[in-house]
Amino acid sequence: MSTAAAHAHSPQEILAQESKRYYAFVNLAMFLSLFTGIEIVIIFVRFPPAVLMTVLVTVSIVKFFCVIFWFMHLIYDAPLLTILFLAGMVLAAGTMIALLGLMERSDIDPATLHDSLASPPASSVAWDANLG
């Protein structure tokens, strides 16, 4: 390919393409801020915890893919690079889920928890109940 063929676009065509990309980024930023606002509002509305977590995780996944595809420019890269990136993400997510599956709250020594997080011993609860 010659350099003349590579620079066949006029400055007006290049400006039009860049303007189109600029407005795509601005629209995506507005979309992401709208979804962030929805996340903030939904936290304060009383929903069952399962519904709340499902909605928040779903919205976060949508936002994540928007960011990695447009702001990290994966949408313009070769499909192999996108596949490699997503394979790493799947591996990291699988590792995180496996580690979370290995641990439970009952596995934590209550003495290492902060005072407000630790549950009081059963004997002190019974003692407080007898005072009332």
What spatial distance separates the first Cα and last Cα of the chain, rounded to whole Å?
Answer: 89
Residue 67 has a pLDDT of 86
| 66, 31 contact by CB (below 8 A) | yes
- What pLDDT, on a 0 to 100 scale, did the predictor assign at position 117? 53
How confident is the model at residue 87, as a pLDDT?
93
Task: List, in order, residues 6 or more apart from 94 with CB less than 8 Å away.
Answer: none
**What digits encode the pLDDT tens for the residues 102-130?**
887 777 777 776 655 555 555 555 555 55
* Structure token digits, residue 97: 């889920």
pTM above threshold 0.85:
no
- 70 vs 8: which has the higher pLDDT: 70
Name, in order, each residue with C-beta under 8 angstroms of 85's C-beta and a sequence gap of 6 or more. Answer: 68, 74
- DSSP output for the chain: --HHHHT-S-HHHHHHHHHHHHHHHHHHHHHHHHHHHHHHHHHHS---HHHHHHHHHHHHHHHHHHIIIIIT-TTTS-HHHHHHHHHHHHHHHHHHHHHHHH--GGGS-GGGS-TTTSPPPHHHHHHHHHH-
pLDDT, tens digit, for every residue of 78-95? 889 888 988 998 999 999
Question: Both tokens of residue 15?
Answer: 């400006």
Q: Ranked by mean pLDDT, which of 60-64, 73-77, 100-104 comes out on top?
A: 60-64
